[in-house]
Amino acid sequence: MDIDNFEWWYSEGEAPDESWDEPLTDEASSNEVETGSDAAEPLTFEQAWAQAEADEAKADATATLDEPADMSISPAKTPQPRHTIDPDSTASFSILDVPAQGAQAPAPTHRPNLAREEDAGRRSPLGPILIAFMAGVIACSAIGSVWSHVERQREDAAKVEMSVEQSLSRTRSVHVSVEVKDGATWDTARGDSQMLIHIVGRTLKGQAVDEYQYVNSDGDGIELKPGDYELTVDEAPVATDGTRFRASKRMVPVSFNSQAPDTVDSTPQGGFDLYVDAQ
């Protein structure tokens, strides 16, 4: 039956024949099939729809049953995971992440591995540079401290050396013991002459000494720098009344260093005796 012609004919408003509502008999259907005549009466829309459904059901029933349905999945249609799952990865995923066929898989998202980042930081080339810089700073500080200490020692040594130099260059007063015998009196304060002393020796700085100095009746008057000396009487004194004296032939040693006081007493090493000269 031509459905298109049926719809057009039905849409023109012509009433269908009442005989369409009557069910076809087996004999009529058989005659229609056998003759294939075009003179068969047209079907209603409901009958045509029912016949089409029947033909479709018949075709499905007569389908080949020996061949099983292809239930395999084509590799091209196999859903592929969005990314390969790493057992060691801490990334989370869901079955909803599986893309449709032909879809572009997004880049996988991983949680940052803090341990690896920390290792990378320790392996950073700035680490050795920073360590070397700090070592250099510490070394410079240590060298500076040592240098400062050495400089202070040098300054202290220079001060000590200067002090020693000044002390060695500074003279001390040397006191000698003089004793008058025979009941005589020697007094330079009343006008008696002084006694001349011969001094031979060497200073601690290595300077040779050979000189003469006078002492008064108190035994004072000699000035010497630190060193080792020998003192002898070269000329005895004379009193104002004309009395002459003679001194004992004696040598008095005198030694002192830079730590000696301003006045050095030679009495422990000996002294001089004066006698009245009868001539």
Per-10-residue mean pLDDT for the chain, 279 residues long? 48 47 47 46 76 79 54 51 53 48 53 57 64 80 79 77 80 95 92 96 95 96 96 95 90 94 94 88
Confidence (pLDDT) at 55: 83
Tokens in use for 97? 């992440």
User: Are both 155 and 181 inside the same structural domain?
Assistant: no
Please give the Cα distance from 172 to 220 (Å, whole number).
11
User: Are both 207 and 251 inside the same structural domain?
Assistant: yes
User: Are both 244 and 228 inside the same structural domain?
Assistant: yes
Confidence (pLDDT) at 12: 47
Confidence (pLDDT) at 19: 45
User: Are both 147 and 189 inside the same structural domain?
Assistant: no
User: Are both 228 and 139 inside the same structural domain?
Assistant: no
User: Are both 272 and 183 inside the same structural domain?
Assistant: yes
Residue 102 forms part of a structural domain: no
Residue 236 forms part of a structural domain: yes
Report CA-CA distances (Å) from 42 to 18, 19, 23, 49, 116.
12, 10, 12, 13, 84
Tokens in use for 155? 């300054």
Report CA-CA distances (Å) from 73 to 2, 177, 203, 260.
41, 137, 121, 119
Confidence (pLDDT) at 112: 56
Give the three-state DSSP class for 49.
helix
Residue 231 forms part of a structural domain: yes
CATH (domain of 217): 2.60.40
User: Are both 159 and 183 inside the same structural domain?
Assistant: no
User: Are both 139 and 222 inside the same structural domain?
Assistant: no
Domain span at 260: 172-276
User: Are both 213 and 251 inside the same structural domain?
Assistant: yes
Confidence (pLDDT) at 215: 96
Total domain count, the chain: 2
User: Are both 193 and 269 inside the same structural domain?
Assistant: yes
Beta strands 227-235 and 195-203: pairing type? antiparallel
Confidence (pLDDT) at 159: 73
Domain boundary among 169, 187, 221: 169
